[in-house]
Chains A and B, each alone.
Chain A
Amino acid sequence: MEQSGSGQWRPVADIDNMRVRAWMLSRIRDYFSLHSVLEVETPVLSHAGNPDVQIESFVSHYAGPGGERELYLQTSPEFAMKRLLAAGTGSIYQICKCFRNADNSRLHNPEFTMLEWYQTGFDHHQLMTDVESMLKHLGACAQETAIPRFTYQQLFETYAGFDPHLLSVEQLEQEIARLQINFHVNKGADETVGLGLDRDQCLDLILTHVIEPQLQDKGLIFVYDYPASQASLARIRPGNPAVAERFELFANGVELANGFNELTDKAEQQQRFDRDVEVRSANKQDKILPDQYLIDALDAGLAPCAGVALGLDRLLMFMTAKASLTEVLAFPFARA
């Protein structure tokens, strides 16, 4: 916190930007209303957290009737919304605050606004088309041109010069050297290890350091069919190579949205949760137990659907041509 009288009480985003935000929210609601997608609300505080290895949760403490316990602030409304889908709501959307501990940078605020929606009977390609028509409804991109779609493989072949599905860790380390990424190797006791990164971490390093910078003037781009090891909660399509039916939307190299052809298989969901819990334990991260309600909902039956989460602060950044999140937030983290 800054000292008093420093002007830190003032909002950072200008008032015109707040007007664009309000207009954006009303257009989004208008779009879903036209397409008969139901707006829903689910709890921000939940007894269960998100065991995803790459995400850290805020934990809150409840003290009241019913007994004291820890509650988690949601990192996304995904689990609760899938419970609604399993209960037969049909297509739904939600605009809500999400919370991720430790995410704080030019493009991250620990608390942010998410638009998440699910279309029943859609696959990830149909949902990309839906995302595109929603963005056109907002005027976030030109009506007459289609947003280019690259597979993850095509993206790497085009901007990094290799097929990401074929290379081993050692070969990826050679690519990292060839691409002149100056990665700091923590010289531990084991001198034989290379960069100390696994395959996906190598790919993430190249994506963030080599590919995203080249997308800075490319506007909107969809990337789909991710490596199966980066499936998260997406369905995996068997094949050679098997790929995750997952997509992301980039705006000038910044991730705007992440979508899945949703995993609906209870046993596989349980396995992925178990693996996350194991990895978190090996990494000495906070222990977070998976949401049994979600497992039970999948057990009851989740019809095929595709879902996507879109960061609205980043979308507003893109629509108003701002360079950092703080410029579209009334009170970013440092002034919250």
Chain B
Amino acid sequence: MGSYSTNEFRGGLKIMLDNDPYVIVENDIVKPGKGQAFNRVKVRNLKTGRVIDRTFKSGESVEGADVMETEMQYLYSDGEFWHFMDPESYEQIAASEAAVSDSMKWLKEQDTYTVTLWNGSPLTVVPPNFVELAVTDTDPGLKGDTSGSGGKPATLETGAVVRVPLFIQIGEVIKADTRTSEYVSRVKG
């Protein structure tokens, strides 16, 4: 992996800091007219998601992080690892619990997820913004209530729990927003 000069800094650039991979979120240059210029950046740790401030002396170089995003199919979990496959090369990789912790409740076998790889191993697994999943458990609720007011918890086939309108029944497929864990609509079967 090469290195980047501060002149190449921009949002989205992946760099190594303190042995962790980071992505630049914001890059601001401050420069006194007769003085030293600095790049004042906000960076997100790709392992923890934490955003921190960092200041670089302009003109210095930083090592790039070998990070790439790829679309992969979820196969199965053996309890310790979560296995994914590249649908083109059929190459398989195993993600640790840390990598899937945020997305575990949305993982459905055969579906496709965005896997971020660092030096070839998975850092994070992100589900699509919207998923369609079957309800496996919810209170029967009130027959005939179609107003959508109120709501009740429903467990989906992957384990995620979202609040759904009272008229949603077990076995129905709903569309959910994975970023907010909110119900979007009923999917007509």
Contact = CB atoms under 8 A, between A and B. Distances in A.
Given A54-B37, A186-B60, A255 B32 contact: yes
Contact of A197 (B31, B52, B53, B57): B57
B35 A230 contact: yes
A176 to B, nearest CB: 10
Interface in A13-52: 52
A266 B17 CA distance: 48
Contacts of B17: 184
A205 B36 contact: yes
A232 interface: yes
Contact of A108 (B29, B34, B61): B29
A208 interface: yes
B120 interface: no
Interface string A203-219: 11101110010000000
Contacts of A203: 35
Nearest to B17: A184
Consensus secondary structure, chain A interface: mixed
A212 B36 contact: no
B185 interface: no
B100 to A, nearest CB: 30
Given A54-B36, A102-B7, A201-B36, A108 B57 contact: no
A105 B40 CA distance: 11
Contact of B30 (A186, A212, A232, A258): A212
Contact of A209 (B7, B29, B40, B57): B40
A205 B31 contact: no
Contacts of B31: 54, 103, 105, 108, 208
Interface string B49-91: 0001111110011100000000000000000000000000000
B33 interface: yes
A200 interface: yes
B32 A232 contact: no
B55 A184 contact: yes
Interface in B18-33: 28-33
A257 to B, nearest CB: 9
B167 interface: no
A300 interface: no
B54 A105 contact: no
A108 B60 CA distance: 20
Given A54-B37, A184-B17, A208 B30 contact: yes
A153 to B, nearest CB: 17
Given A106-B28, A184-B17, A186-B60, A258 B55 contact: no
Contacts of A183: 54-55
B38 interface: yes
B34 A54 contact: yes
B179 to A, nearest CB: 29
B35 A200 contact: yes
A242 interface: no
Given A182-B54, A197-B57, A54 B30 contact: no
Given A200-B35, A209-B40, A232-B34, 4 more contacts: A204-B32, A204-B38, A208-B32, A248-B33
Interface of A: 52, 54, 102-106, 108, 181-184, 186, 196-197, 200-201, 203-205, 207-209, 212, 230, 232, 248, 255, 258
Interface of B: 7, 17, 28-38, 40, 52-57, 60-62
19 contacts: A54-B37, A102-B7, A103-B31, A105-B28, A182-B52, A183-B55, A184-B56, A186-B60, A197-B36, A200-B35, A204-B38, A205-B36, A205-B55, A207-B35, A208-B31, A208-B32, A208-B40, A230-B34, A230-B35
